[in-house]
Amino acid sequence: MGFFTLLEDRVRQVDSLLCVGLDPHPGELRARQAGEARDFCLRLIEATSDLAAAYKPNSAFFEAFGSEGMAALQQVIAAVPEGIPVILDAKRGDIASTAQAYAQAAFHTLDADALTVNPYLGYDAVAPFLESPEKGVFLLCKTSNPGAADLQDLHIVPDSGERAASMLYEHVARLAQKWNQNDNLGLVVGATQLEALARVRTAAPNLWILAPGVGAQGGDLRLALEAGLRSDGLGMLVPVSRAISRAGDPRQAAQELRAAINRQRSVVSEHRVPEAGGRFPAALADSLLKAGCVKFGQFTLKSGLISPIYIDLRRLVSDPAMLAQVAAAYLPLLQELGFERLAALPYAALPIATAISLQSGWPMIYPRKESKGYGTRAEVEGVYEAGEQVVVIDDLATTGGSKFEAIEKLTAAGLEVKDVVVLIDRQSGAGEALSQAGFRLYAVFTLTQMLDHWELSGQVPAEQITAVREFLRA
């Protein structure tokens, strides 16, 4: 039986995703001795053993005491009641006989059930830790420390099994999905890294995620669960250390944390917005709102209508980080389609499609908005061959009028169009019009999904949400 089958049994038994961290910081000890570190942890175990899905002792705080500390760590692990998994936080990473020795130490000498492992040396450094299905591994994937971006956020070019480029941490997630042959491999992703958490869940939909950062580090519990939970409401452990150990009543703190996790977990499961092609990118929706790309009030549209909402994605050109985030949100949809080139619609979609091209390696062209009366007099700019299939990229879909104008120019140039992909479908008839003409519309968001999310999270007043919904129905 794989480690995660055992873990899921424990989670269901105590209805808990809480992983209690056992981190005997020197400042929390009455005396800076190995015995006090041991007793500190034993008190936490005794107070929380019916509430914890798992325990996570940090090896460093024991190793600092030398051989006495390692003996204390062994005693702490032995004190955890049978059936409760122990995840040793040691971040090991080496190769060959050294990795085998680390595995022997963690899983047999110390008798831990799982171990955190650094994947930087590749599969042969991970394999020795995966040999026993009942012993689990959590690979470091996307950590929350400031320097994590130095490596983990690097963009990598596609390999033979990937349609598009991605960040290094996403590649690690996909590798873990492939390496998980014995139901014993998971990932570590910081709960403060909401976008990364959602992208890792998309890349590895079945794996368990250990998500530190809730509590003293300030991670938002609801948003983290929304981004990281699997569709079955499982797949994510929430480790908490200081918020329990430093509480006046650690047991009460653990009870409140478990209750809060389950309450938010229930809300997320009940209100989760289903979407085609992947998970709802909640962090991106919130970023668009905060950046003023979506505004609520009274706005006069080009048609003359008074709208209670205005979407201005041209603002993205002034925010490179968010532009990259938006481009990344298109990738899961695009990876499911067949095409040779991106065809961006002027003007708002030009920077978006450029960012997509830079992240994915797909070449880009664009149909001109106005005819070119000089030079080559080209209607379509860029390099292409007649007969190639292109996917139309735009920022919004409203009625579909601009899409048909662009498709006409593209087909006149000998290109084939089947699909249109946008960031937001305003649900004002574009999907139906395109479908009737034989084209398919895909959207990262529908406006209804975004409204449902902002209503659930309380970020937009209810009367403004209601006004937009009435406007959509009119």
Beta strands 114-117 and 136-142 are parallel
pLDDT class for 458, splitting at 50, 70, 90?
A: confident
The yes-or-no verdict on residue 163 having pLDDT over 90 is no
Beta-carbon count within 10 A of 302 CB:
6
At residue 103, the pLDDT reads: 96
The yes-or-no verdict on residue 170 having pLDDT over 70 is yes
Better pLDDT: 434 or 279: 434
Active-site entry in 56, 91, 372, 418? 91
Is residue 298 helix, strand or coil? strand
d(CA 452, CA 98): 51
- What's this model's pTM, rounded to 2 decimal places? 0.68
d(CA 165, CA 327): 11
The yes-or-no verdict on residue 289 having pLDDT over 60 is yes
Is residue 213 helix, strand or coil? coil
The yes-or-no verdict on residue 277 having pLDDT over 50 is no
Give percent above pLDDT 70 in the chain.
Answer: 93
Better pLDDT: 250 or 232: 250
Give 131-135's long-range contacts (Cβ < 8 A, gap of 24+): 131/103, 132/107, 132/184, 133/1, 133/2, 133/3, 133/182, 133/183, 133/184, 134/1, 134/2, 134/3, 134/6, 134/184, 135/3, 135/103, 135/107, 135/184
Q: Are 214 and 224 in contact (CB under 8 A)?
A: yes
pLDDT class for 357, splitting at 50, 70, 90?
A: very high
d(CA 68, CA 141): 32
d(CA 334, CA 461): 34
The yes-or-no verdict on residue 64 having pLDDT over 80 is yes
At residue 276, the pLDDT reads: 40
Segment 59-63 mean pLDDT: 96
The yes-or-no verdict on residue 372 having pLDDT over 80 is no
pLDDT class for 456, splitting at 50, 70, 90?
A: confident
For residue 452, what are its two tokens?
A: 């449902």
Q: Name the H helices within 242-373.
A: 242-245, 250-271, 282-290, 320-334, 349-360
d(CA 118, CA 151): 13
Q: Which domains does the chain have, with CATH numbers?
A: 3-271 (3.20.20.70), 282-473 (3.40.50.2020)
Looking at 113-243, which runs of residues are DSSP E strands? 114-117, 136-142, 155-156, 166-167, 185-189, 209-210, 236-240
In sequence order, which residues have a C-beta less than 8 Å from that of residue 373 and are 6 or more positions away? none
Is residue 255 helix, strand or coil? helix
Among the residue ranges 96-105, 273-282, 434-443, the one predicted with the least confidence is 273-282
- Dihedral over Cα of 404, 389, 380, 317: its sign: positive
pLDDT class for 31, splitting at 50, 70, 90?
A: confident
At residue 39, the pLDDT reads: 96
In sequence order, which residues have a C-beta less than 8 Å from that of residue 31 and are 6 or more positions away? none
d(CA 472, CA 23): 52
In sequence order, which residues have a C-beta less than 8 Å from that of residue 81 and are 6 or more positions away? 45, 49
Give 12-17's long-range contacts (Cβ < 8 A, gap of 24+): 13/83, 14/50, 14/51, 14/52, 14/53, 15/258, 15/262, 16/51, 16/52, 16/53, 16/258, 16/261, 16/262, 17/53, 17/234, 17/236, 17/237, 17/238, 17/258, 17/261, 17/262, 17/265
d(CA 207, CA 204): 6
The yes-or-no verdict on residue 189 having pLDDT over 50 is yes
Helix axes of 320-334 and 349-360: crossing angle, nearest 10 degrees: 70
At residue 275, the pLDDT reads: 44
pLDDT 10s digits, 139-156: 999 998 889 989 998 887
The yes-or-no verdict on residue 279 having pLDDT over 70 is no
Q: Are 130 and 99 in contact (CB under 8 A)?
A: no
Active-site residue flag, 418:
no
Better pLDDT: 320 or 49: 49
Q: Mean pLDDT, the chain, as a whole number?
A: 90
d(CA 236, CA 222): 12
Q: Are 356 and 384 in contact (CB under 8 A)?
A: no
pLDDT class for 284, splitting at 50, 70, 90?
A: confident
In sequence order, which residues have a C-beta less than 8 Å from that of residue 165 and are 6 or more positions away? 155, 156, 157, 158, 359, 360, 361
Segment 356-384 mean pLDDT: 84
Segment 6-26 mean pLDDT: 95
Is residue 375 helix, strand or coil? coil
Segment 61-79 mean pLDDT: 96
pLDDT class for 158, splitting at 50, 70, 90?
A: low
Segment 78-94 mean pLDDT: 96
Distance between start and end Cα atoms, the chain: 56
At residue 159, the pLDDT reads: 58
pLDDT class for 201, splitting at 50, 70, 90?
A: confident
At residue 455, the pLDDT reads: 87
d(CA 334, CA 391): 8
At residue 272, the pLDDT reads: 55
Q: What are phi and psi of 338, to 5 degrees?
A: -105, 125
pLDDT 10s digits, 126-138: 999 999 999 999 9
Segment 366-382 mean pLDDT: 78
Q: How far is CA 331 from CA 168, 222, 361, in A?
A: 15, 25, 11
Is residue 4 helix, strand or coil? helix
Cα–Cα nearest to 44, from 104, 86, 102 = 86
Q: What is the DSSP letter of 269?
A: H
